[in-house]
Amino acid sequence: MNIITVTPRGYCKGVINAINLVKQTRKENPNEKITMLGMIVHNKYVVKAFEEIGIKCIDAKNKTRLELLDEVDSGIVIITAHGASEEVTIKAKEKGLKVVDATCIDVIKTHKIVKEHIKHGDVIYIGKKTHPEAEAIVSISNKVHLISNLDDVDNLPKDLFNPLITNQTTMSLYNIEILINACLLK
């Protein structure tokens, strides 16, 4: 049998940075209550390993990050690699929590692009409706229109101004190409 390894392989830089930041946070705060606001990355083995060193993960598919924050009353809260809305950080600080932000740099770049573009037009954001990355982006402005399928494209407002199309960083171009093309034809 031949084994052929593919390069690159393994975790992306955002996941590696998030994992390292969680480890560093535990090391620097060995006795502090630490809560991850959702799965730090979509990998149950990574989450379990952190739970084994006393880092709690709260996650519920039917709750936003802002709603999950209601379950944290003290200590350190970690924003996952997927990011969170600014309201999450504000609310956490108002509750007296220390915030550690493990948001992927590519997600941060997307946030910056969206925030800049909404000054000049609308944003069509291709992403998954229940994904925390999409949740955070959509919270930026009502000028951000989330598209998850072709029906969403059909339901876009007719009066979009100077639209920019961007997408959730975890989505493959192969998976979103049909949606991009449908948006361009609209």
Determine, yes or no, domain membership for 54. Answer: yes
- Is there a single domain that holds both residue 82 and residue 46? yes
Determine the structural domain holding residue 81 and report its residue range. Answer: 13-103
- Is there a single domain that holds both residue 25 and residue 83? yes
- Is there a single domain that holds both residue 19 and residue 99? yes
* pLDDT attached to residue 25: 98
How many domains does one find in the chain? 2
Q: Which of 80, 86, 79 lies closest to 140 in space, CA to CA?
A: 86
pLDDT (tens digit per residue) in 70-122? 999 999 999 999 999 999 999 999 999 999 999 999 999 999 999 999 999 99
Domain closes at, from 61, 86, 103: 103
pLDDT (tens digit per residue) in 30-70? 999 999 999 988 889 999 999 999 999 999 988 999 999 99
- Is there a single domain that holds both residue 86 and residue 152? no
Domain closes at, from 88, 103, 118: 103
Name the residues annotated as catalytic.
Answer: 133
Q: Whole-model pTM?
A: 0.88
- Is there a single domain that holds both residue 137 and residue 97? no
* pLDDT attached to residue 169: 93
Determine, yes or no, domain membership for 62. Answer: yes
Please list, in sequence order, all residues whose beta carbon lies within 8 angstroms of the beta carbon of residue 58, skipping any fewer than 6 positions away: 35, 36, 37, 38, 68, 71, 72
> If you search the block for the tokens 């199309």, which residue do you land on?
165
